[in-house]
Structure 1
Amino acid sequence: MTDAAGVPRHPVAVWASDALDSAAFARAYTVTAFGAVLSAFAIVRMAGVVTYATVLGGLCVVGAAVLVRRRHELNLVRLVPSTLVLLLAWLLATLVWSVDAGDTVSGWLGVAALAFIAVVIGHIRDTLQTARALGDVLRVLLSVSLGLEILSGILLDVPIRFLSIEGNIAAGGPVQGIFGTRNMLGFVAVIALITFAIEWRTSSIRRGAGVFSVALAGILALFSASPTVLVLALAVAGATGALMLVRRTPAAGRRALQFSIAGIVVVGAIAAYLLRHPIIAVLNAGSDFATRAQLWDTLLIYVRLRPVPGWGWVGPWPQQEFPFVSINFITDGPHASALNAYLDMLLQAGWVGLLLFTAMSAIALVRSWLVASARRSIVYAWTPLVLVTLLADSMFESFTLGGFGWLLLVVCAVRAGMSRSWRERMRAADAAGPDAPSPALPQGPPTPDR
């Protein structure tokens, strides 16, 4: 075999090149990446941090090979969102003033590796293919979680200590499955409900599989007894209703409706803050909120000492480094995060990091929302609904700053940027000339599998 220049090529090299460019390999890579990151807690507990880091490193190497092989399909303008590049650059820059350079380097490598994997997924899979791959992974891992909870809490009545499974399912929960905490299980279950619903509506799975999937996610969300699940469910329900209303509104009236919805969201957020204590009482989450309130009040003391640069990016809190050890001492709790992604980013990367993180998330949400409003296929609703879940959950947890939450956030940001990028529109306008009409959003279904 020879290449275009007539140079002989080894059959193995030909096979590897064809495999990297195949749809089957792209799906396998996506499923493996989602599966590994979602199983991070179980992998670390069973095989150690080094094993998990090796898995991520391998995914990055394979992902780089895929991008090189598919370089003819890539558009440099839309490869990575600008806000993501700026955020990662700033997090690395905090190495200069970080209290521990080693923790900053390892923490940065963790988010950078996951961001790179997410970029690869965003460019080799379209929205429907991404949702289908995630749905398959979630069905397996949620089934495993339910099975282990039944085994521990009903059949054996013995906790599975190395996975932190307490076996409380017979008592109605809380359960955590293989995800480590009940809040993480609740968060994953809500993402699963969105994904399964999109799969069902797009006829990507059969009716029986759809019923089973939705029931599985709903049962685990209920048994997780996570106080954040109800908040996330309300946020997703409100976003779904608003999106359906916008999609059914004639194009001429959409702009005014969009601004009205944005105003309602702002007013609702202010009202929720002012009425936070009655809301917490209704949710029966007083003890959890009291823990968070004490943690946040203490954290803000240290934010005022370094408001702009922060204390240096580390990711999960090191238990022996200042100011994290001091915060935990004052609050009398071994916290591994601020239990709030925005405050966590503010503490570690300062106001600059928080503004960049907020800008990346907000731009992705606006882009994906506008695309879902304009396109016919329901699959485009997956990205904004997932982003709403991520941003709402960030008020109570720091999941979006690492692991599955961060991976999903970057995937959504990449997909949103590819669907509606200001740089792409400027480039198209320059190529067409000043008198050309603005390019319209395509109205067809997602691109077919290749």
Structure 2
Amino acid sequence: MTRVPQHPVAVGVLEFFGSTRFARVLTLAILGTAFLSFPLRSMIGWPGLIAIVSALVVFAGLSFVGRWHDLDWHGLLPISLLVFVGWCAVTLLWSSYLPSTLNGLLYQLAYAFLGVYIAVVRDLIQVVRALGDVLRVVLTASLAVEILAGLLLDTTVPFLNVTGGIASGGPVQGILGTRNMLGFVAMLALVTFAIELATRSIRRGIGIYSAAIAVIAVVLSGSPVTLGVAVVTGVATVILLALRRAASETRRGWHFVLLAVSLLGLIVGYLARGSILALLSERREFTYRLEIWRELWRLIDLNALEGWGWTGFWRSNVSPFFALDVIGNRSHTSALNAFVDVYFQTGLVGFVIFVGFVALAFGRAWVLAAARKSIVFLWTALVIVVLVSTSMAESAVLVEYGWLLLVICSVKAARDLSWRGRLRRADEPVAPVPVNS
């Protein structure tokens, strides 16, 4: 057992870092840094952003120490998460761009640690409220910048990639770099704001304003990817609400029916992949992606089992990434598909582990959302739906706020449904859950 220092100053410091107020502020800082990572990189560069993330990791570590005896550590981390991160670390052994792999791994571990911190020290509704506050600021700032650049000044903001397209009805990028990322964040915001309204955790006026700016951001982004994600999320929401109304004795059967239908859909989609790709190739948005995926598949075949080595964000100054910049004559930071990206960087082994990790997180979150009485459990399942469906056309789930949310959701779902929870001794008291917001 960790010995708590008895020196008054040390005790006071630990009480400060272990306080509920500090945890609340630190959670907002972590989420804010993650979602504002693009403008932060644009203004202060990678060194400044890494310094901020490093400081947050240190503060989270001190907060953990201050709360050490108040937390329940049984089944804290999903084993699938540990295995995936562990395999990414193993790729250091054969990576041909070792410094980039090491940097990418440390960045991934930092956000994983911060995600675990938020999931452990904050209740689910507290996470939703904190994320809602951050996303309100992000979307408001995005629309404000677009209005300023496109309507008031009629100019562009190159360092934020803002093109001022709001005057013509879009597409707009806000402060998130691309229209797809603006649409992605707006979808996450819609889910979060809806849960806030359903749980009455915010005033109705704020909730209506929040939903309005999220819808406006989705529309102005003009992202076909976001349109598809919205359809998938809407269908998932309807199904979950129907399952919550179903009798508990029939709900298990419906889960198996949905699983069978989903597997059948995947099989049909695989068999009809040629026709689907031909249809998508008619759109410029997807033609560009198909070119990248075809080239990546050629590279994957060279290191199919173990992958080329983890990086997270692509490094355009090392091989083979710089060779891919000839596609579209622009620099690329990802494969524009999280699953292809994982296959390319970590091989078939990493791909299988990652799919298993995501499937377990989604399955647990889905069961909780359908069975638990509180509507707040819908948030975890629907956020994973948004993350996974967006992953078909973007790799955001592998880095920064996408990765942070995936870790938070997986830890929250695992702590409620993990088999290791049954190993807790019957006579061992369960640590109290913080209730202050």
Normalised-by-shorter TM-score class: over 0.9
The separation in 2 between residues aligned to 1:143 and 1:6, in whole angstroms, is 45
The separation in 2 between residues aligned to 1:165 and 1:141, in whole angstroms, is 15
Q: What letter matches 1:153 in structure 2? A: G
| Distance verdict in 2 for CA 1:304–1:170, change over 3 Å | same
Does residue 424 of structure 1 match 2:421?
yes
Ranges in structure 1 where 5+ consecutive residues have no aligned partner: 433-445
Does residue 142 of structure 1 match 2:129?
no
Q: Which residue of 1 aligns with 2:435?
A: 448
Q: Which residue of 2 aligns with 1:247?
A: 244
SS of residue paired to 1:76: coil
| Distance verdict in 2 for CA 1:282–1:234, change over 3 Å | farther
1:215-254 alignment runs, 5 A limit = 215-254=212-251
The separation in 2 between residues aligned to 1:277 and 1:301, in whole angstroms, is 18
Deviation at 1:281, TM superposition (A): 9.6
Contact persistence 2:5–2:11 (CA under 8 A):
no
Q: What letter matches 1:210 in structure 2? A: G
Q: Which residue of 2 aligns with 1:377?
A: 374
Does residue 77 of structure 1 match 2:64?
no
The separation in 2 between residues aligned to 1:152 and 1:274, in whole angstroms, is 47
Deviation at 1:74, TM superposition (A): 2.8
Contact persistence 2:280–2:286 (CA under 8 A):
no
| Distance verdict in 2 for CA 1:278–1:413, change over 3 Å | same
| Distance verdict in 2 for CA 1:26–1:170, change over 3 Å | same
1:174-253 alignment runs, 5 A limit = 174-253=171-250
Deviations 1:74-130 (A, max 9, x none): 333322211111111111111111011100100001100000000000111111100
Question: TM-score, normalised on structure 2?
Answer: 0.93
The separation in 1 between residues aligned to 2:4 and 2:136, in whole angstroms, is 47
Deviation at 1:328, TM superposition (A): 3.1
Does residue 124 of structure 1 match 2:111?
no
Q: Which residue of 1 aligns with 2:151?
A: 154
Does residue 314 of structure 1 match 2:314?
no
Contact persistence 2:186–2:214 (CA under 8 A):
yes
| Distance verdict in 2 for CA 1:277–1:153, change over 3 Å | farther
Q: What letter matches 1:419 in structure 2? A: D
The separation in 2 between residues aligned to 1:372 and 1:447, in whole angstroms, is 21
- Per mean C-alpha deviation after superposition, the further-off stretch among 338-347 and 283-292 is 283-292
| Distance verdict in 2 for CA 1:279–1:201, change over 3 Å | farther
Deviations 1:122-169 (A, max 9, x none): 111111100000000000111011001000000010111121111000
Deviation at 1:53, TM superposition (A): 0.2
The separation in 1 between residues aligned to 2:218 and 2:276, in whole angstroms, is 20
| Distance verdict in 2 for CA 1:285–1:138, change over 3 Å | farther
Contact persistence 2:14–2:62 (CA under 8 A):
no
1:259-278 alignment runs, 5 A limit = 259-272=256-269
Q: What letter matches 1:28 in structure 2? A: V
The separation in 2 between residues aligned to 1:7 and 1:447, in whole angstroms, is 24
The separation in 2 between residues aligned to 1:85 and 1:254, in whole angstroms, is 31
1:80-99 alignment runs, 5 A limit = 80-99=77-96
Deviation at 1:9, TM superposition (A): 1.1
| Distance verdict in 2 for CA 1:282–1:319, change over 3 Å | closer
1:322-361 alignment runs, 5 A limit = 322-329=319-326, 332-361=329-358
Q: Which residue of 2 aligns with 1:388?
A: 385
Q: Which residue of 2 aligns with 1:304?
A: 301
Deviation at 1:361, TM superposition (A): 1.0
SS of residue paired to 2:216: helix
Q: Which residue of 1 aligns with 2:64?
A: 67
Contact persistence 2:364–2:414 (CA under 8 A):
yes
Ranges in structure 2 where 5+ consecutive residues have no aligned partner: 428-432
The separation in 2 between residues aligned to 1:5 and 1:43, in whole angstroms, is 37
Contact persistence 1:227–1:284 (CA under 8 A):
no
SS of residue paired to 1:19: helix
Percentage of matched positions with identical amino acids: 41
SS of residue paired to 2:303: coil
SS of residue paired to 1:305: helix
The separation in 2 between residues aligned to 1:272 and 1:368, in whole angstroms, is 25
Q: Which residue of 1 aligns with 2:430?
A: none
CA RMSD of aligned residues (A): 2.2
The separation in 2 between residues aligned to 1:377 and 1:279, in whole angstroms, is 39
Does residue 25 of structure 1 match 2:22?
yes
Question: TM-score, normalised on structure 1?
Answer: 0.91
